[in-house]
Amino acid sequence: MTVTVFSLASCPQCVATKRKLDKLGVTYREILLDQNPDKINDVKALGYTSAPVVLVSTSTGTDSWSGYRPDRLTRLAA
C-alpha cells in the first residue's frame, strides 16, 4: 500500500491528517503543494479543489478523499 498526502503548509486539516497517520504508524509520502505547484493539476484531475487530499494505492486499485477523515485514516492501519 502506498499513501500520498497532498498538503499545504498553512492547512490545519493537513496537519491533523499527518498527525493521525503518524500516530497510527502509517507510512506516507507528503507532497507540499506550496512547493510543488505543478502537482496542483494532479489533485484537480482527481476532482479535488481543497487540501489535504489523500491518495491510497494498493494492488487492487486506488482510493482518494479530501479533508481530514479520521475514520478513513484509521482503516489504513487495520
Report the CATH number that the domain containing residue 10 is assigned in CATH: 3.40.30.10
pLDDT exceeds cutoff 90 at 78: no
Supply the pTM of this predicted model.
Answer: 0.94
User: Which range of residues forms the domain containing residue 43?
Assistant: 2-76
Over range 26-49, report the average pLDDT.
Answer: 96
Number of compact structural domains in the chain? 1
Over range 23-27, report the average pLDDT.
Answer: 98
- Convert the pLDDT of each residue in 66-76 to its tens digit: 999 999 999 99
Over range 32-61, report the average pLDDT.
Answer: 96
Distance between CA atoms of 36 and 58, rounded to whole angstroms? 24
